[in-house]
Structure 1
Amino acid sequence: DTAAAIDWNRFAVAGVRQVRAARTPAELETALSQLFTPLGPGIEIGASLTPPRAIGPRNPDLIAWHYRGPGLTSAASGPYSSKRINRTVTVPSSQQPSPAIISQTISADSLRGRAIRMRGLVRIANANASGWAGLWLRVDRGQAVGFFDNMENRPVRDTTWREYVIEGSIAADATQIVFGALGVGGMSLDVDAIELSVRREGGEWTPLAVRDAGFEEDENSSRQGWGRNLYMSLVRPTGGAPQGTRYVRIPALPAAPTVASAPARASDSLETPVTGAVSEFTLARGLRARVPLSLTDAEARTASVTTATLRAALAAVPPSTGNDDLDVRLADVVIAWNVFRHFYPYWNDLTVDWDARLRPQLAAAYEAASTRQAHHDVLRVLVADLNDGHGSVRDVAKPARVGLLPVTFRILSNRLIVTGSRESTAPVGSVVVRVDGASAAGRILSETQLASGTPQWKRTRAEWALQMCHLDVAVTLHIEPPDGVARDVTLPCKQEGPSVAEVRPDSITELEPGIWYVDLTRVRAEQLRPQLPVLAKARGVVFDVRGYPTDAGAAVLSHLMRVPETSTDRWMHIPRFARPFAEVAGWQDLTWSLRPVSPLISGERIFLTDGRAISYAESVMGYVRDYKLGTIIGGTTAGANGNVVGFTLPGGFSVMFTGMRVSRHDGRTPYHTVGVAPDIPLEPSLEGIRAGKDEVLARALTILQIRP
């Protein structure tokens, strides 16, 4: 019970500080014992351990944890969850909800398949008040919930204005997006400058319309669009706003009465605790440790005489969010390394020795400068070691003010090529030699080294990174344009991105009689459906999946399949953990359960794809490959699929990674870092780009025996 109530981010910072002072094995043993033995009975640390108790049968009355995937917080949503067997959870009663909430809703119809970002300026009134506060963002999928984040695991703690950020994804079947701010318990907060944006195909963030985003309207104005609790009054102070002239103050509400839910019971044998189960492992300096994995009710309630001392020490730890000193950097590595060690589902598919990576990762944090960028880069390198295309690190405590250059890039043969431009001085087909005086090849190398995933996805991430810039700070490129006259061009850094990433035909169009082109990254299912009877009669259809599909990507598959999925076709696998160190007790296997749907698109089908296709795009391409739904031309997809999950580190960085194992449709063959390889490999050339030719599409048309 003590361990379950610990703030582990604070514990990590305090623990690093205490352990760093140890100079001998005896001092280290003492420091670790002081930190960990107050957490519960049965924890042992020493050069030798007492004889372990006997392992007994499964006992449904014991206290233990069971995880379905990385259910890292009590608010875990989607396919992941955690359960503390035989422990109640205290929740607000239904008499009166305790959160003070403002909210606004927009339709998701034209936004499906995109990444979404919410930003806002927030501060709390009293850092010592009970409860917590934050922004919140939810994506609804009909009666189900898709992405959800309310910052419960990284609440606002500052009494001065700071920007906070939430990023997520909009599901292919999303219906609406709901967002706002909330204070829970006794927490009052101030909010201003709400911004909601979606990431477009080129990687740029495009703001969406938010009514009264700066809270400048009068409370009684018909133009203010914020809903709120019926029994809650809002105040809009007219002085001290960080942006504009007003902001909104969300008052603390009286705490609602609480009730205890029914104890969480084991739902099957895998969740039933094992009597005497322990985990034993080797530490440094000749020490070993033992941690019990199940306890009786009485044992779980036992508090050590030193528990109060530990709690007092943790309460004295200053806020670490946004801090870059040594203890915080090391604590960030400790937390991140552990989360991946225990919950990353791909250790059996990779050759990475994660245990061996701990020492160099700690050393990198130790040697890094006490700057935000150096701190960030240490964590990016750690996540890069996972080889996880979903792996990323965002600074949510001190997010940089970034914009986008008015150009898009592709990296071909280690050269940075302009493939889209809104500036005549930097025409399409230009080779970028230097960026602000630095070698473009060197920038490509550094960005790919800091990205996680396959080489093709690292290249995509580097293309995006090189397009990003410090907002309102111009960037000078030295280019070799198609006309051959090398020169410097200075480009502005603005919030708006390029209008076109690359030239493609209309999203759904007939290129020649009987030959159709469908760009699944742009056309929506509602636009595709009326065209299905025509496509069903077509001699050939080219489907473009060079990027992230809309909801049409999944919708079209049933019109290509001739046989339904079988009961054994399970390609998404959620690990079930009852023990640490990623020891899988079992799997929950899932699929989309697709069946053929009329009309059948029976002509020749060709799919275009490359390393920009990741996650949901690879779900679509997995069906294409394993059900032989068409010929694939282009490059290998990113090799990262499965629902993502995130956590926040003491220093204020948000980390994302893949929480489930995805295989091919036989349920066994690895997919991670493999992706979908093309039947016909083909990469654009500089000559083709300069000629305005889509060589990958041209090859598809050649196969269909028509002139490109």
Structure 2
Amino acid sequence: MIRLNFRIGFLIISFGLIWGCSRNEIPQKKKVENIKAFAKLYGYVRWFHPSDEAQQIDWDRFACYGVKTVDSAPNSEALKDSLLKLFLPLAPTLEINSSSDEKDFEISKITPPETSGFYPVYWQHSGVKLNQTPGNVYKSIRVGRINKLDYNKTTPLGKSIPASRFSQKAVKLEAFVKSGNGGSGQLFFEGFNRNDYMNLSAALKPIYLKKSKWEKIVIERTVKPDDLNIFFGFNCLDTSGVFIDDIRLSVKNHNNRDSVVYENDFNNLNGNDLEEFFFDKNLPFDVKYLTDQSGENGYFSIRYNDKNFRLFEKKPEFGESICERIHPDLFVQLPVVLMADDQHVFPVANKESFNSLQNELNLWQSEIYKDLGSLVVVWNIIQHFFPYFDEVDVDWEKEFKTALNEYYDMEDFEKVLRKFTAKLNDGHVNVLVPNYKNINQLPIKWEWISENLLITEVYDQNSGLLPGTIVKKIANKKAKKYFAKMEPYIPAPTIGFVRKASENLSLQGTPGDSVRLDIIKPDGTKDIVYLKYSLHPLEHYNKSLNKTRYKILKDNIYYLNLDQISMAEIDSLMPDLVKCKGIICDLRGYPNNNHEFWSHLMTQQDTAGHWLGIPQFIFPNQKNRAGYYYPNIGTGMTPQNPHIDAPVVLITDARAISYAESVAMIVKHYNLATIIGQPTAGTNGAFNSLVLPNNIRFVYTGSKVVSLDNSQHFGVGVLPDVYVDKTIKSIWQDEFLNKAMKILQMKNNSNN
């Protein structure tokens, strides 16, 4: 019996070895090379090949299915066959050859037998429009094949007004409107907060305009405390047009009277002068100024018009193609311009093959390859559209290979993606996991000061810890090594940014768990404590905030915390601010929509408009970039009364990111204040985002920001005029604030 069991066991083990070999007969190195080849071709066809078939596919499913199809190819010939089977139903003119067979693309293959009535179709990208960013600044169109439905709930013409002065007040929009015969338009009147900008399509709720006779529309809204802007705009999805006249925006004041915020009857415009409105020229609409028969009464119209519409002038020529190596043994050729008539793009793919592929995608439900497919998507978006490769020293293809290998090795997708995208040094990069596992934070705040990790705040008085405690070890690891282990997962545009991010990330853990801390108390004695992860991140954040909105300091110097104080409250303080001896503005955080404060210090209008550019593309791999689109997003601030003559100091550090940096850039450029502290985050611009095949949301910066003097901002930030470093004294006093006070006192003494 024992002998029999031994034999059975041996057979089972032998069978397991044979089965295991058959499962893993393709080396990981080859799998990675296969997926890289698929990924490159995926990006070329999805974003740069203009066939009709490529627009009808579910690209998320295709990414996952494609990885599954190619990863087991044993050699380059098998890989080529798999790629052709995948892509020919979408790109019938695709050619894949061995590197030794490189040849010129045959233009005859894409030339219709009869060219009469045909016109070119090709892609143009201003940034790139992704599946979760409707209505934002990024656009992608197939010239000659524009889908009108893509422009539902967009606003080609509108006006945005800062909401800070109208918080919790009733605002009213009045306008006379009509639609062309048989047509319809859309009117929008909304308040937008930060979350709304993540998905403008959901935030925009249109009022439909269908009457062909003039009618007065009246809409009222109450401005919410978190609204950043009040916005009204118009749209029309047909050629009959929508017509607008006599716009009036008013707010109900405390005396219950309407105060006019904006008013225009359009009777005194010259020609097509609508510059005070936001007009998005990257949309297929005509906006015209019109008058009645008398020539005295003016109004304007919006009409949808996609005929000959392009995002920008530069275009690829018929016959130009993608000619790239996708694998050590494979070379791909693919046209970027095809010819089309009103029925189809030439040539038409094999319908049977296309339907077969569609059926495969519809039936295929495997979860296994969603992570690898998501890596394919992310790599392509960054490869073709990330605006900062000139500033970031990264071999993106090499990092893709590393990410694929790491996923195969440990299969923790979230960690792999965070580490992969952290290499971009983009502070906007984020990996948002749905239904993310619960995390808590330790009830303390700690910072690196003078080479020591010091506890600076304690939120649990029963912990026995005190500010000034030095933490030597965390979970039996030296504090520096503990931090070093997490830093590769943090996108680090500046040293200050990664330090602040790691100080926060290192506090996170599983709710209810404890961590061992080896500490040195302020009195010099050593101890070991076990601290629970007891605070929800939001509760921890709220406890760490400086909630002081403003205060009056010594010598009639005012302190304004821009992270907390509203513009309405600043307005209420204005009579005192114009008479004070100095103002300290704290920008160690995110402004509470109060940037208009700085208009009271300005002596000239803000005319800097080309600091944010959206890169334009017609070819993959960012070759021969078409240029930049500069949306009119400058502050447009003009000097406002009352003018503040008092000296101002602005405190900032790496917590100032994005909008906060826009404010700091204005202050720096127009010399509105002495800036002290540390560099800002070095991350500004409009973010872009999409939901990946595995339902994780990926965020990155899609536009390029430079300083207002055209110098590099990314990874540099706004630099202070006076640097301040923290010492152990900062535990008991705000050294940055003290420095600001000294600067203002010196300025006042020199003026006396």
Give the TM-score normalised by structure 2: 0.67
2:676 maps to 1:633:
yes
User: Which residue does the alignment assign to 1:423?
Assistant: 460
| Contact 1:475 1:493 survives alignment (8 Å) | no
Distance 2:311 2:377 in 1: 30
Distance 1:140 1:344 in 2: 30
Equivalent in the alignment of 1:203: none
Q: How many residues align?
A: 552
Alignment partner, residue 406 of structure 1 = 443
The yes-or-no answer on 1:299 pairing with 2:345 is yes
Amino acid paired to 2:120: L
Deviation, 1:473, is: 3.4
Alpha carbons of 1:266 and 1:8: their partners in 2 closer, same or farther (altered >3 Å)?
same
2:333 is matched with 290
Shift, 1:308, TM fit: 2.2
1:386 pairs with 2:432: no
Shift of 1:66: 1.8
1:601 counterpart SS class: coil
What is the 5 A alignment of 1:297-696? 297=340, 298-299=344-345, 302-304=348-350, 305-318=352-365, 320=367, 325=368, 327-367=369-409, 369-370=410-411, 374-396=412-434, 398-413=435-450, 415-424=452-461, 425-454=464-493, 455-485=495-525, 486-495=527-536, 497-498=539-540, 506-552=548-594, 554-566=595-607, 569-583=609-623, 584-589=625-630, 590=632, 591-666=634-709, 668-685=710-727, 687-690=728-731, 692-696=732-736
How much does 1:263 deviate?
5.4
What pairs up with 1:250-269 in 2 under 5 angstroms? 265-267=308-310, 269=312
Aligned mates of 1:450, 1:402 — CA distance in 2: 17
Listed one character per residue, the Cα deviations across residues 588-610 of structure 1 (whole Å, up to 9, x for unaligned) are 12422222212222221111111
Q: State how far apart, in whole Å, the 2-side matches of 1:3 and 1:499 are.
A: 46
Distance apart, 1:174 and its partner CA: 4.0
TM-score, with structure 1 as normaliser: 0.71
How far the C-alpha of 1:15 sits from its partner, in A, is 1.5
Distance change >3 Å, CA 530–CA 660, structure 1 → 2: same
Render the CA deviation track for 1:49-99: whole Å, top value 9, x for unaligned.
55225699xx993222222222113852321122222325375999xx9xx
DSSP 3-state at the match of 1:38: coil
3-state DSSP of counterpart to 2:313: helix
Superposed counterparts of 1:3-402, under 5 Å: 3-47=54-98, 48-53=101-106, 61-73=119-131, 76-87=134-145, 89=147, 91=149, 140-141=191-192, 146-148=197-199, 173-174=228-229, 265-267=308-310, 269-270=312-313, 274-297=317-340, 298-299=344-345, 302-304=348-350, 305-318=352-365, 320=367, 325=368, 327-367=369-409, 369-370=410-411, 374-396=412-434, 398-402=435-439
Percent identity (aligned): 26
In the TM superposition, residue 475 of structure 1 has moved relative to its aligned partner by: 4.1
After TM superposition, give the deviation of residue 294 of structure 1 in Å. Answer: 2.0
**Change beyond 3 A, Cα 1:503–1:458:** closer
The CA deviation string for residues 499-548 of structure 1, in whole angstroms up to 9 with x for no partner, is 86568683211102331111111111111111123222222111111111
Q: For 1:270, what is the secondary structure of its paired residue?
A: coil
Distance 1:614 1:29, change over 3 A: same
2: distance between equivalents of 1:544 and 1:380? 31
Whether the 8 Å CA contact 2:88–2:349 is kept in 1: the answer is no
Query: What code does the residue aligned with 2:134 have?
Result: A
Deviation at 1:339?
0.6
Greater share of helix: 2
Unaligned runs of 5+ in 2: 1-51, 112-116, 154-162, 168-188, 204-224, 232-303
Please give the root-mean-square deviation of Cα atoms over the aligned residues, in Å: 3.4
Change (3 A) 1:319 1:548: farther
Cα distance 1:547–1:503, how it changes in 2: closer, same or farther (>3 A)?
Answer: closer
Supply the distance in 1 between the matched residues of 2:150 and 2:733 (Cα, whole angstroms).
Answer: 61
Deviation at residue 439 of structure 1 after TM alignment: 3.6
**8 Å Cα contact 1:406-1:492 kept in structure 2:** yes
Structure 2 letter corresponding to 1:39: L
Q: 488-497 or 635-644, which moves further after superposition?
A: 488-497
CA distance in 2, matches of 1:432, 1:328: 41
Give the whole-Å Cα distance in 2 for the aligned partners of 1:632 and 1:88: 48
The CA distance in 2 between the partners of 1:268 and 1:331, in whole Å, is: 30
Distance 1:307 1:549 in 2: 52
1:150-209 deviation per Cα after TM superposition (whole angstroms, max 9, x unaligned)? 899xxxxxxxxxxxxxxxxx9872469xxxxxxxxxxxxxxxxxxxxxxxxxxxxxxxxx
Q: What residue identity is the alignment partner of 1:555?
A: E
**SS across alignment from 1:334:** helix
Give unmatched runs, 5+ long, in structure 1. 98-107, 113-137, 153-169, 177-260
The CA deviation at 1:698 is 0.8
Q: Secondary structure at the match of 2:620?
A: coil
Q: Which runs of structure 1 show a deviation greater than 4 angstroms over 4 or more consecutive aligned residues?
A: 53-56, 90-94, 108-112, 149-152, 261-265, 499-505
**Aligned equivalents of 1:484, 1:79: Cα separation in 2:** 56
Relative to structure 1, the CA distance from residue 541 to residue 622 in structure 2 (aligned partners, 3 Å threshold; closer, same or farther) is same
Supply the distance in 2 between the matched residues of 1:593 and 1:637 (Cα, whole angstroms). Answer: 23
